[in-house]
Amino acid sequence: MSMIFFACVVRVRDGLPLSASTDFHLNQDFLECRKRLKALSSMLARYPSRGTAKGRNLSIHFLSSGDVACMAICSSSYSTIMAFCFLEELRWEFAASYNTRSISSASRPYAFIEFDNIIQKVKHHFNSSRGSRARANWEKVEEELKLQPPVQLQLEATELLNGLSNGGHAGGHVEVVPTYRMQPVTPLGILSLVLNIMCGALNLIRGVHLAEYSFQEDHEGIGNVIAFFLPFLACVFQCYLYLFYSSARKVKTFVLLFCVCSCNIYLYGLRNLWQISFHVGVASLSSYQILTRQLLEKQPDCGV
């Protein structure tokens, strides 16, 4: 029977499942296809916005847009155009239900499990031959697929995503470790890096000199030594967060900013108000640059 068996919505950058239809099939082919879909979902950032993994009896279709992707397991005889019509409608329904911020901040699997009701409703509609709306976007999607054909994969080849079982020789589209490309560094970002390095160097120099004196004569000054070294480390990590992608960037950024501000307030007396304002200002600028430099959105790749 030509039909849609399973559908889900995942986050593109890490493959986190956001919602899925609660379909239980004990068929071994379906269970194996579910495993391959899970493996493929973690690699979607490597592919164009549309793709199809063909199998003998079942096929996987995926459609990504922005930070989310809709995926479906269909019988291999099911129309490819109809499958992408289904994914287009599913994507539209999900975009209308959830905003980008809630999607980006989702930290647990199936955070939007309530969307399952809509997935089931749309899936049932497309599996029903009586529904006229199922073919409403047929011509539009057919034209888009002609202009930008979906990348073709072999369903059996997706097994390599789980460990490169063929001695490490993956197919032409398979890579093991996903990388994240950041937006280009801006002139203001370069300025924040330079100022951050300068503040870090000042903290390190003052901390070393104070440590030499404290260990020899004034053991009560150890707190001041720590208050110089902590901002030095914070400056180093701020530079790292700006240049490279890291999970929980927002939390780490605010922790580092709090550390710099607290230590500089503690050092009042060894530093005057202008010096404290300078260090806090540089830390604030660096934090702003970290938070505003985002991941590049995946661009469609028509040549794959």
> What digits encode the pLDDT tens for the residues 258-296?
999 999 999 888 889 999 999 999 999 999 999 888 765
Same domain, 137 and 253: no
| pLDDT of 162 | 47
Distance of CA 262 to the CA centre of its chain: 32
Q: What percentage of the chain has pLDDT greater than the value 90?
A: 34
Same domain, 18 and 128: yes
User: Does the pLDDT at position 133 exceed 70?
Assistant: no
Which of the pair, 233 or 161, is modelled with greater confidence? 233
Q: How far apart are CA 290 and CA 18, in angstroms?
A: 26
Of 276, 236, 280, 274, which Cα lies nearest the Cα of 257? 280
| pLDDT of 300 | 37
Same domain, 200 and 142: no
173 within a domain of the structure (yes/no):
no
| pLDDT of 28 | 83
302 within a domain of the structure (yes/no):
no
Q: Please report how the helices 116-127 and 80-97 are oriented relative to each other, as an axis angle in degrees rounded to 10.
A: 150
> What digits encode the pLDDT tens for the residues 178-189?
445 677 888 998
Give me the mean pLDDT over the 215-228 stretch. 74
Q: How far apart are CA 288 and CA 297, in angstroms?
A: 20
126 within a domain of the structure (yes/no):
yes
| pLDDT of 214 | 63
Same domain, 83 and 135: yes
Give me the mean pLDDT over the 66-91 stretch. 91
Q: In terms of residue numbers, what domain contains 116?
A: 4-163
172 within a domain of the structure (yes/no):
no
| pLDDT of 185 | 86
Identify residue 114 by its one-letter amino acid code.
E
CB 48 within 8 A of CB 76: no
Q: What is the count of structural domains for the chain?
A: 2
Same domain, 44 and 150: yes
175 within a domain of the structure (yes/no):
no
pTM: 0.52
CB 39 within 8 A of CB 158: yes
Same domain, 13 and 140: yes
Which of the pair, 136 or 143, is modelled with greater confidence? 143
* Widest pairwise Cα distance in the chain: 89
| pLDDT of 156 | 62
Q: b/e per residue, 183-220, with b = 16+ CB within 10 A?
A: eeeeeebeebbebbeebbebbbebbeebbeebeeeeee
Same domain, 44 and 187: no
Same domain, 155 and 87: yes
User: Does the pLDDT at position 168 exceed 80?
Assistant: no
76 within a domain of the structure (yes/no):
yes
Same domain, 152 and 208: no
Same domain, 14 and 157: yes
The CATH number linked to 75 is: 3.30.450.50
Which of the pair, 178 or 107, is modelled with greater confidence? 107
User: Does the pLDDT at position 138 exceed 50?
Assistant: yes
> What digits encode the pLDDT tens for the residues 235-253?
999 999 888 877 778 899 9
CB 193 within 8 A of CB 239: yes
Give me the mean pLDDT over the 76-86 stretch. 89
Banded pLDDT at 171 (limits 50, 70, 90) = very low
Same domain, 148 and 34: yes
